[in-house]
Homo-oligomer: A and B are copies of this chain.
Amino acid sequence: MSQAPSDAPDPTARAAERAPLDPPPLIVDGVEINRWDREVLLEARRGGVSALHATCAVWEDARETLRALAAWRRRFAEHADLITPVRGADDIQRAHDEGRTGVLLGFQNTSPFEDDIELVATFRQLDVLCAQLTYNVQNLVGGSCFEPTDSGLTRFGEAVVAEMNRVGMLIDCSHVGEWTTRDAIEASRDPIAVTHANPRWFCDSPRNKTGETLKALAMRGGVVGCTLYPLFIGGPQVSRATYCRMIADLVDEIGVDHVAIGTDLTRGHPDEDLAWLRDGRWRRPDPEQRLSWPTWPAWFASAEDFPNLAEGLLDTGLHEAEARQILGENWLRLLGQVVGP
């Protein structure tokens, strides 16, 4: 393990000091899509994040994704004092115990599989543990939440779901169309995840899920990670109390075993990255439109604010055990079940 620079405070000590729960909770973030410099990794440590799911592909094909995964190999070596690879659920507990942040590699698209059923097992062998079936457009596997029509799960999509079940890769339906999501819940042998979306009754966006879909997900043992991305909570002015009340209401609706957090943090990205992340190559950027990242709520501006969120959950009346499930233990259980120990 390499040494942290001597001028850095001990981030783990700081997290423990701020945590409203004692001992500090095991925190797992359902998805983050940061630019992964050391400062961002320090934020995760300061927030007491035991593990996070890092997005390695949004539009990338197989070859481009190999490069993104290689970058993670280098990061794991370079920042071994802060992060450690997650290859199964036990690695998350180990990271938590060691005061490091486990990083679980995953995709927000099946584009790395291209049109090749064999590439699912290939990427699983490269420690990719989670893949979202579609990103922002229709793909070979199914329909996106932003597409006017949802194809449902295609024949290739059914093959991919079965193969992900076979190799032990978590299926994520966050950006996936409602119909395709329901098809995936039905088709998958294992429970599936929505790593980062809210109920649509809280914020009416196609990126959020209907109550019916979240119930169907929970009925099959799945977990939804409530997101903090400003556009899908209703804007940065939404208070911590309002957000945490939504979580408590969702717990009442689908059960505490099925609710978690997936912030969708986008730390470190300049505005120039936004056009790529949103639209990839499928349409030309509109020269009239100046894209910029949304402002995050003051009470949750980075992973450092996980203790704030924990406090908010307790303030809303959730019990300590419930807050611990929501903050990380539900993800831990689901990963153990789908991916293995």
Contacts and interface: CB of A to CB of B under 8 A. Distances in A.
Nearest to A111: B115
Contacts of A40: none
Given A116-B282, A159-B283, A282-B117, A147 B154 contact: yes
Contact of A156 (B111, B150, B282): B282
Interface residues of A, number: 29
A139 interface: yes
Contacts of A154: 137-138, 147, 149
A1 B140 CA distance: 44
A75 to B, nearest CB: 26
Interface of A is mostly: loop
Contacts of A280: 115
A127 interface: no
A61 to B, nearest CB: 7
B149 A114 contact: no
B155 A137 contact: yes
Interface string A161-205: 000000000000000000000000000000000000000000000
A118 B281 contact: yes
Nearest to A152: B149
Nearest to A153: B149
A283 B151 contact: no
Contacts of A284: 117-118
24 contacts: A59-B115, A61-B61, A61-B114, A111-B115, A115-B137, A115-B281, A115-B282, A117-B281, A117-B283, A117-B284, A118-B281, A137-B140, A138-B154, A138-B156, A146-B155, A147-B154, A147-B155, A148-B155, A149-B151, A150-B151, A151-B151, A155-B282, A156-B282, A159-B283
